[in-house]
Amino acid sequence: MLNNFRFLTSGESHGKCLNGIIDGIPAGFEINLNLINDELKRRQGGWGRGGRMKIETDTIEIKSGVRFGKTTGAPICLEIMNKDFENWKTIMSIEKIGAQDDIGEVEKSFTKPRPGHADLAGAIKYDLKDLRDVLERSSARKTAIDVAIGAVAKQILKEFDITCYSQIISIGCENEDAKIKEKIETAQNQGDTLGGNFQIVFENLPVGLGSHVQWDRKLDGLIAQAVMNIPAVKAVEIGLGVGCANVFGSKMHDEIFVENNKYFRKTNNAGGLEGGMTNGENLVVKATMKPIPTLKKPLATIDFKNNSQSEAHFERSDVCAVSACAVVTEAMVASVLVDAFLDKFGKDNITEIKNCYSNRNYSNRI
Ligand code: EPS
Protein backbone atom coordinates (compact mmCIF):
# COMPACT_ATOMS: atom_id res chain seq x y z
CA MET A 1 0.00 0.00 0.00
CA LEU A 2 1.18 3.54 -0.77
CA ASN A 3 -1.00 4.67 2.15
CA ASN A 4 -3.25 7.11 0.29
CA PHE A 5 -6.31 4.87 -0.07
CA ARG A 6 -5.78 2.41 2.78
CA PHE A 7 -8.22 0.03 4.36
CA LEU A 8 -8.67 -2.65 6.97
CA THR A 9 -11.45 -5.19 7.42
CA SER A 10 -12.85 -7.27 10.25
CA GLY A 11 -15.48 -9.94 10.64
CA GLU A 12 -15.98 -13.69 10.78
CA SER A 13 -17.76 -15.90 8.25
CA HIS A 14 -20.63 -16.70 10.65
CA GLY A 15 -20.24 -13.72 12.96
CA LYS A 16 -22.67 -10.83 13.10
CA CYS A 17 -21.21 -8.73 10.28
CA LEU A 18 -18.25 -7.81 8.09
CA ASN A 19 -16.74 -4.35 8.44
CA GLY A 20 -14.34 -2.23 6.45
CA ILE A 21 -12.77 1.14 7.14
CA ILE A 22 -11.29 3.11 4.26
CA ASP A 23 -9.05 6.01 5.15
CA GLY A 24 -7.79 8.57 2.65
CA ILE A 25 -10.79 9.16 0.39
CA PRO A 26 -10.74 12.73 -0.92
CA ALA A 27 -13.83 14.91 -0.48
CA GLY A 28 -16.43 15.47 -3.19
CA PHE A 29 -16.74 12.04 -4.84
CA GLU A 30 -20.27 10.73 -5.37
CA ILE A 31 -20.88 7.33 -3.82
CA ASN A 32 -23.81 5.33 -5.16
CA LEU A 33 -24.99 2.55 -2.86
CA ASN A 34 -26.67 0.68 -5.73
CA LEU A 35 -23.34 0.36 -7.53
CA ILE A 36 -21.78 -1.20 -4.42
CA ASN A 37 -24.70 -3.61 -4.08
CA ASP A 38 -24.44 -4.56 -7.77
CA GLU A 39 -20.82 -5.61 -7.21
CA LEU A 40 -21.80 -7.59 -4.10
CA LYS A 41 -24.41 -9.40 -6.17
CA ARG A 42 -21.86 -10.22 -8.89
CA ARG A 43 -19.57 -11.78 -6.25
CA GLN A 44 -22.38 -14.04 -5.06
CA GLY A 45 -23.00 -15.52 -8.50
CA GLY A 46 -21.47 -18.24 -10.67
CA TRP A 47 -21.87 -22.00 -11.10
CA GLY A 48 -20.70 -24.12 -8.20
CA ARG A 49 -21.57 -21.77 -5.36
CA GLY A 50 -22.68 -23.37 -2.08
CA GLY A 51 -25.83 -23.14 0.03
CA ARG A 52 -24.63 -20.03 1.84
CA MET A 53 -25.28 -17.89 -1.22
CA LYS A 54 -28.97 -18.83 -1.00
CA ILE A 55 -29.10 -17.48 2.55
CA GLU A 56 -27.27 -14.19 1.99
CA THR A 57 -28.30 -11.14 -0.03
CA ASP A 58 -25.23 -9.06 0.63
CA THR A 59 -26.17 -5.42 1.09
CA ILE A 60 -23.96 -2.54 2.12
CA GLU A 61 -24.57 -0.01 4.85
CA ILE A 62 -22.37 3.07 4.98
CA LYS A 63 -21.89 4.12 8.59
CA SER A 64 -19.72 7.24 8.17
CA GLY A 65 -17.68 9.39 5.79
CA VAL A 66 -20.45 10.11 3.24
CA ARG A 67 -22.98 12.96 3.50
CA PHE A 68 -25.73 13.76 0.99
CA GLY A 69 -24.25 11.13 -1.31
CA LYS A 70 -20.73 12.57 -1.41
CA THR A 71 -17.49 11.78 0.39
CA THR A 72 -16.47 14.35 3.02
CA GLY A 73 -12.79 13.40 3.28
CA ALA A 74 -13.43 11.52 6.52
CA PRO A 75 -12.84 7.75 6.82
CA ILE A 76 -15.65 5.64 5.38
CA CYS A 77 -16.99 2.78 7.48
CA LEU A 78 -18.81 -0.01 5.61
CA GLU A 79 -20.87 -2.87 6.99
CA ILE A 80 -22.43 -6.04 5.58
CA MET A 81 -24.66 -8.04 7.93
CA ASN A 82 -24.36 -11.85 7.86
CA LYS A 83 -27.93 -13.12 7.66
CA ASP A 84 -26.68 -16.60 8.59
CA PHE A 85 -25.61 -15.25 12.01
CA GLU A 86 -29.16 -15.94 13.20
CA ASN A 87 -28.30 -19.67 12.95
CA TRP A 88 -24.88 -19.28 14.60
CA LYS A 89 -25.64 -16.97 17.53
CA THR A 90 -24.61 -19.49 20.20
CA ILE A 91 -21.70 -20.95 18.27
CA MET A 92 -20.25 -17.50 17.55
CA SER A 93 -21.20 -15.95 20.89
CA ILE A 94 -18.96 -13.04 21.88
CA GLU A 95 -19.67 -13.73 25.55
CA LYS A 96 -18.64 -16.81 27.48
CA ILE A 97 -21.60 -19.14 27.67
CA GLY A 98 -20.36 -22.36 29.25
CA ALA A 99 -18.40 -25.42 28.28
CA GLN A 100 -15.85 -23.79 25.93
CA ASP A 101 -12.91 -25.35 27.78
CA ASP A 102 -13.91 -28.78 26.53
CA ILE A 103 -13.63 -28.63 22.73
CA GLY A 104 -15.70 -31.78 22.28
CA GLU A 105 -18.61 -30.03 24.00
CA VAL A 106 -18.62 -26.94 21.79
CA GLU A 107 -21.11 -27.10 18.96
CA LYS A 108 -19.46 -27.05 15.49
CA SER A 109 -15.96 -27.10 16.97
CA PHE A 110 -13.49 -29.19 14.99
CA THR A 111 -9.95 -30.51 15.33
CA LYS A 112 -9.23 -32.10 11.93
CA PRO A 113 -7.51 -29.48 9.73
CA ARG A 114 -8.34 -29.31 6.03
CA PRO A 115 -5.18 -29.70 3.90
CA GLY A 116 -4.80 -26.51 1.86
CA HIS A 117 -6.68 -24.30 4.32
CA ALA A 118 -5.27 -22.10 7.10
CA ASP A 119 -6.54 -24.46 9.83
CA LEU A 120 -3.33 -26.23 10.93
CA ALA A 121 -0.79 -23.41 10.64
CA GLY A 122 -3.30 -20.94 12.15
CA ALA A 123 -4.05 -23.18 15.13
CA ILE A 124 -0.35 -23.69 15.88
CA LYS A 125 0.53 -20.02 15.40
CA TYR A 126 -2.30 -18.68 17.60
CA ASP A 127 -2.32 -21.63 20.04
CA LEU A 128 -5.99 -22.42 19.36
CA LYS A 129 -7.63 -25.71 20.26
CA ASP A 130 -10.82 -25.22 18.22
CA LEU A 131 -9.92 -24.83 14.54
CA ARG A 132 -13.18 -22.93 14.01
CA ASP A 133 -11.34 -19.87 15.34
CA VAL A 134 -9.09 -20.08 12.26
CA LEU A 135 -11.79 -21.09 9.76
CA GLU A 136 -14.05 -18.19 10.67
CA ARG A 137 -11.57 -15.50 9.70
CA SER A 138 -9.77 -17.33 6.89
CA SER A 139 -13.05 -18.06 5.09
CA ALA A 140 -13.53 -16.44 1.70
CA ARG A 141 -16.68 -14.92 3.18
CA LYS A 142 -14.57 -11.90 4.10
CA THR A 143 -14.07 -11.11 0.41
CA ALA A 144 -17.59 -9.60 0.43
CA ILE A 145 -16.29 -6.55 2.30
CA ASP A 146 -13.21 -6.39 0.02
CA VAL A 147 -15.61 -6.15 -2.92
CA ALA A 148 -17.55 -3.33 -1.23
CA ILE A 149 -14.32 -1.40 -0.65
CA GLY A 150 -13.28 -2.05 -4.25
CA ALA A 151 -16.68 -0.79 -5.42
CA VAL A 152 -15.95 2.55 -3.74
CA ALA A 153 -12.55 2.58 -5.47
CA LYS A 154 -14.19 1.79 -8.82
CA GLN A 155 -16.51 4.79 -8.44
CA ILE A 156 -13.51 7.08 -7.94
CA LEU A 157 -11.78 5.59 -11.02
CA LYS A 158 -15.00 5.98 -13.05
CA GLU A 159 -14.81 9.78 -12.56
CA PHE A 160 -11.73 9.56 -14.80
CA ASP A 161 -13.31 7.08 -17.25
CA ILE A 162 -11.19 4.22 -15.93
CA THR A 163 -13.23 1.01 -16.11
CA CYS A 164 -12.63 -2.72 -15.81
CA TYR A 165 -13.95 -6.16 -16.69
CA SER A 166 -12.96 -9.77 -16.07
CA GLN A 167 -13.02 -13.02 -18.05
CA ILE A 168 -12.77 -16.67 -17.04
CA ILE A 169 -9.99 -18.34 -19.05
CA SER A 170 -10.40 -21.93 -17.85
CA ILE A 171 -11.91 -24.08 -15.11
CA GLY A 172 -10.17 -27.31 -14.09
CA CYS A 173 -7.95 -29.15 -16.57
CA GLU A 174 -7.58 -27.15 -19.79
CA ASN A 175 -7.14 -30.30 -21.90
CA GLU A 176 -10.59 -31.67 -21.16
CA ASP A 177 -13.31 -30.93 -23.69
CA ALA A 178 -16.20 -30.79 -21.19
CA LYS A 179 -18.08 -27.51 -20.80
CA ILE A 180 -17.40 -25.48 -17.66
CA LYS A 181 -20.83 -26.20 -16.18
CA GLU A 182 -20.40 -29.95 -16.75
CA LYS A 183 -16.94 -29.97 -15.19
CA ILE A 184 -18.29 -28.27 -12.08
CA GLU A 185 -21.23 -30.69 -11.87
CA THR A 186 -18.86 -33.65 -12.17
CA ALA A 187 -16.68 -32.26 -9.38
CA GLN A 188 -19.79 -31.75 -7.25
CA ASN A 189 -21.01 -35.32 -7.83
CA GLN A 190 -17.58 -36.66 -6.89
CA GLY A 191 -17.45 -34.64 -3.65
CA ASP A 192 -14.59 -32.65 -5.15
CA THR A 193 -13.77 -29.01 -6.00
CA LEU A 194 -12.26 -27.11 -8.95
CA GLY A 195 -10.10 -24.03 -9.48
CA GLY A 196 -9.24 -22.14 -12.63
CA ASN A 197 -7.64 -19.22 -14.43
CA PHE A 198 -9.10 -15.80 -15.12
CA GLN A 199 -7.99 -12.34 -16.15
CA ILE A 200 -9.01 -8.80 -15.35
CA VAL A 201 -8.49 -5.78 -17.58
CA PHE A 202 -8.47 -2.08 -16.62
CA GLU A 203 -8.94 0.38 -19.48
CA ASN A 204 -8.03 4.04 -19.91
CA LEU A 205 -5.39 4.30 -17.20
CA PRO A 206 -3.11 7.35 -17.28
CA VAL A 207 0.64 6.91 -17.71
CA GLY A 208 2.81 6.90 -14.59
CA LEU A 209 0.84 5.24 -11.78
CA GLY A 210 3.43 3.53 -9.56
CA SER A 211 7.14 4.23 -9.86
CA HIS A 212 10.43 2.68 -10.96
CA VAL A 213 12.46 4.39 -8.22
CA GLN A 214 11.81 2.21 -5.16
CA TRP A 215 10.83 -1.46 -4.65
CA ASP A 216 7.73 -0.75 -2.59
CA ARG A 217 6.33 1.78 -5.07
CA LYS A 218 6.39 -0.51 -8.12
CA LEU A 219 2.80 -1.04 -9.22
CA ASP A 220 3.29 -4.63 -10.42
CA GLY A 221 4.57 -5.58 -6.94
CA LEU A 222 1.65 -3.84 -5.24
CA ILE A 223 -0.85 -5.54 -7.56
CA ALA A 224 0.73 -8.97 -7.06
CA GLN A 225 0.51 -8.60 -3.29
CA ALA A 226 -3.11 -7.48 -3.41
CA VAL A 227 -4.11 -10.38 -5.67
CA MET A 228 -2.11 -13.03 -3.80
CA ASN A 229 -3.93 -12.00 -0.62
CA ILE A 230 -7.23 -13.30 -2.03
CA PRO A 231 -8.13 -16.70 -0.55
CA ALA A 232 -7.06 -19.61 -2.80
CA VAL A 233 -5.08 -17.51 -5.32
CA LYS A 234 -1.76 -19.26 -6.02
CA ALA A 235 -0.35 -17.35 -9.01
CA VAL A 236 -0.49 -13.88 -10.57
CA GLU A 237 0.74 -12.86 -14.01
CA ILE A 238 0.97 -9.48 -15.71
CA GLY A 239 0.44 -9.39 -19.48
CA LEU A 240 2.14 -12.34 -21.19
CA GLY A 241 3.23 -13.49 -17.70
CA VAL A 242 4.90 -16.92 -17.58
CA GLY A 243 4.66 -16.98 -21.39
CA CYS A 244 7.60 -14.49 -21.46
CA ALA A 245 9.94 -17.42 -20.92
CA ASN A 246 9.06 -18.87 -24.34
CA VAL A 247 9.71 -15.92 -26.67
CA PHE A 248 12.66 -13.86 -27.94
CA GLY A 249 12.97 -10.29 -26.69
CA SER A 250 12.14 -9.10 -30.19
CA LYS A 251 8.73 -10.81 -29.93
CA MET A 252 8.14 -9.86 -26.30
CA HIS A 253 8.49 -6.11 -26.11
CA ASP A 254 5.77 -3.83 -27.37
CA GLU A 255 7.27 -1.46 -29.94
CA ILE A 256 6.40 2.22 -29.66
CA PHE A 257 4.91 4.14 -32.61
CA VAL A 258 3.74 7.70 -33.15
CA GLU A 259 1.07 9.02 -35.52
CA ASN A 260 -0.52 12.49 -35.50
CA ASN A 261 1.54 13.25 -32.38
CA LYS A 262 -0.06 10.24 -30.56
CA TYR A 263 1.95 7.36 -29.11
CA PHE A 264 0.64 3.83 -29.54
CA ARG A 265 1.61 0.14 -29.41
CA LYS A 266 0.48 -2.71 -31.65
CA THR A 267 0.88 -5.34 -28.92
CA ASN A 268 0.49 -5.40 -25.14
CA ASN A 269 2.67 -8.23 -23.84
CA ALA A 270 3.77 -6.00 -20.95
CA GLY A 271 0.15 -5.95 -19.77
CA GLY A 272 0.18 -2.18 -19.36
CA LEU A 273 3.13 -2.00 -16.94
CA GLU A 274 6.75 -1.10 -17.69
CA GLY A 275 9.27 -0.45 -14.91
CA GLY A 276 6.56 -0.75 -12.26
CA MET A 277 4.48 2.04 -13.87
CA THR A 278 1.38 2.15 -16.01
CA ASN A 279 2.34 2.91 -19.63
CA GLY A 280 -1.08 3.94 -20.99
CA GLU A 281 -2.00 0.51 -22.37
CA ASN A 282 -4.66 -1.70 -20.80
CA LEU A 283 -3.63 -3.25 -17.49
CA VAL A 284 -3.97 -7.03 -17.87
CA VAL A 285 -3.70 -9.18 -14.74
CA LYS A 286 -4.14 -12.95 -14.86
CA ALA A 287 -4.60 -15.04 -11.73
CA THR A 288 -4.92 -18.70 -10.83
CA MET A 289 -7.27 -19.97 -8.15
CA LYS A 290 -6.62 -23.38 -6.61
CA PRO A 291 -9.54 -25.75 -5.94
CA ILE A 292 -11.26 -24.86 -2.64
CA PRO A 293 -9.79 -27.07 0.13
CA THR A 294 -13.11 -27.99 1.79
CA LEU A 295 -13.85 -31.39 0.21
CA LYS A 296 -16.98 -33.46 0.72
CA LYS A 297 -14.82 -36.52 0.00
CA PRO A 298 -12.27 -35.64 2.67
CA LEU A 299 -8.48 -35.88 2.40
CA ALA A 300 -6.20 -37.52 4.94
CA THR A 301 -5.23 -35.35 7.88
CA ILE A 302 -4.41 -35.54 11.56
CA ASP A 303 -6.70 -35.08 14.54
CA PHE A 304 -5.24 -32.15 16.44
CA LYS A 305 -6.92 -33.38 19.63
CA ASN A 306 -4.98 -36.63 20.01
CA ASN A 307 -2.50 -36.67 17.08
CA SER A 308 -4.15 -39.68 15.45
CA GLN A 309 -4.49 -40.15 11.69
CA SER A 310 -7.91 -39.04 10.50
CA GLU A 311 -10.02 -37.47 7.71
CA ALA A 312 -10.40 -33.73 7.19
CA HIS A 313 -13.31 -31.72 8.52
CA PHE A 314 -16.09 -30.99 6.03
CA GLU A 315 -18.82 -28.39 6.17
CA ARG A 316 -20.89 -26.55 3.60
CA SER A 317 -18.72 -24.80 1.03
CA ASP A 318 -18.47 -23.93 -2.66
CA VAL A 319 -17.50 -26.46 -5.33
CA CYS A 320 -16.08 -23.73 -7.58
CA ALA A 321 -15.80 -19.98 -6.94
CA VAL A 322 -13.55 -18.82 -9.78
CA SER A 323 -16.04 -16.26 -11.13
CA ALA A 324 -16.44 -14.81 -7.62
CA CYS A 325 -12.66 -14.70 -7.30
CA ALA A 326 -12.46 -12.65 -10.51
CA VAL A 327 -14.88 -10.09 -9.05
CA VAL A 328 -12.79 -9.94 -5.86
CA THR A 329 -9.64 -9.47 -7.95
CA GLU A 330 -11.22 -6.54 -9.82
CA ALA A 331 -11.97 -4.99 -6.41
CA MET A 332 -8.49 -5.51 -4.97
CA VAL A 333 -6.77 -4.13 -8.06
CA ALA A 334 -9.18 -1.16 -8.17
CA SER A 335 -8.16 -0.31 -4.59
CA VAL A 336 -4.45 -0.50 -5.50
CA LEU A 337 -5.01 1.68 -8.56
CA VAL A 338 -6.88 4.37 -6.60
CA ASP A 339 -4.08 4.35 -4.04
CA ALA A 340 -1.54 5.00 -6.82
CA PHE A 341 -3.85 7.46 -8.58
CA LEU A 342 -4.21 9.65 -5.48
CA ASP A 343 -0.46 9.43 -4.95
CA LYS A 344 0.07 11.05 -8.34
CA PHE A 345 -2.86 13.43 -8.69
CA GLY A 346 -3.63 14.62 -5.13
CA LYS A 347 -5.43 13.43 -2.05
CA ASP A 348 -7.72 16.12 -0.68
CA ASN A 349 -10.61 17.01 -2.95
CA ILE A 350 -12.11 16.20 -6.32
CA THR A 351 -11.61 19.68 -7.81
CA GLU A 352 -7.87 19.79 -7.23
CA ILE A 353 -7.46 16.19 -8.35
CA LYS A 354 -9.40 16.84 -11.59
CA ASN A 355 -7.32 19.95 -12.30
CA CYS A 356 -4.11 18.06 -11.71
CA TYR A 357 -5.36 15.17 -13.87
CA SER A 358 -6.29 17.33 -16.83
CA ASN A 359 -2.91 19.12 -16.67
CA ARG A 360 -0.87 15.90 -16.58
CA ASN A 361 2.14 15.44 -18.87
CA TYR A 362 1.59 14.13 -22.38
CA SER A 363 -2.19 13.75 -21.93
CA ASN A 364 -2.50 14.92 -25.54
CA ARG A 365 -0.21 12.14 -26.85
CA ILE A 366 -1.50 8.93 -25.31
C1 EPS B 1 -18.35 -17.73 1.25
C2 EPS B 1 -18.98 -18.06 2.40
C3 EPS B 1 -18.70 -19.31 3.09
C4 EPS B 1 -18.30 -20.40 2.12
C5 EPS B 1 -17.21 -19.99 1.16
C6 EPS B 1 -17.36 -18.61 0.60
O7 EPS B 1 -19.89 -19.59 3.79
P8 EPS B 1 -20.25 -20.95 4.55
O9 EPS B 1 -18.96 -21.43 5.20
O10 EPS B 1 -21.26 -20.55 5.56
O11 EPS B 1 -20.80 -21.89 3.54
O12 EPS B 1 -19.41 -20.79 1.35
O13 EPS B 1 -15.97 -20.07 1.81
C14 EPS B 1 -14.93 -20.74 1.25
C15 EPS B 1 -14.94 -21.15 0.03
C16 EPS B 1 -13.76 -20.96 2.07
O17 EPS B 1 -12.80 -21.58 1.60
O18 EPS B 1 -13.76 -20.54 3.21
C19 EPS B 1 -18.61 -16.46 0.56
O20 EPS B 1 -19.38 -15.58 1.06
O21 EPS B 1 -18.05 -16.26 -0.53
Q: pLDDT digit string (tens) for 327-354?
A: 999 999 999 999 999 999 999 999 999 9
Note the pLDDT of residue 331. Answer: 98
Say how far apart CA 331 and CA 141 lie, in whole Å: 15
Say how far apart CA 276 and CA 209 lie, in whole Å: 8
How many residues does this entry show for the chain?
366
Q: For residue 204, what are the CA distances in angstroms to 158, 298, 315?
A: 10, 46, 43
**Ligand 1 close to Cβ of residue 317 (< 6 A):** yes
pTM equals 0.97
Please tell me the distance between residue 80's alpha carbon and the centre of ligand 1 in angstroms.
15
Choose one of 42, 139, 230, 290 to mutate for the ligand 1 pocket test, by most ligand atoms within 8 angstroms of C-beta.
139
Beta carbons within 10 angstroms of residue 176's beta carbon:
12
Q: For residue 321, what are the CA distances in angstroms to 212, 287, 293?
A: 35, 13, 12
Domain 6-358 listed as CATH 3.40.50.620: no
At residue 69, does pLDDT exceed 70? Answer: yes
Angle at 139 between CA 143 and CA 191, to 5 degrees: 115
Say how far apart CA 112 and CA 300 lie, in whole Å: 9
- Got the DSSP string for 199-254? EEEEESPPTT-B-SSSGGG-HHHHHHHHHHTSTTEEEEEETTGGGGGGS-HHHHS-
Provide the pairing of β-strand 233-238 with 76-81: unpaired
For ligand 1, atom 13: residue with the closest CA: 140
For ligand 1, atom 18: residue with the closest CA: 139
Q: In angstroms, how far is the first alpha carbon of the chain from the final one?
A: 27
Q: pLDDT digit string (tens) for 141-199?
A: 999 999 999 999 999 999 999 999 999 999 998 777 889 999 999 999 999 999 999 99
Q: pLDDT digit string (tens) for 200-259?
A: 999 999 999 999 999 999 999 999 999 999 999 999 999 999 999 999 999 999 999 999
Residues 6+ apart with CB under 8 A from 24: 3, 4, 5, 6, 339, 342, 347
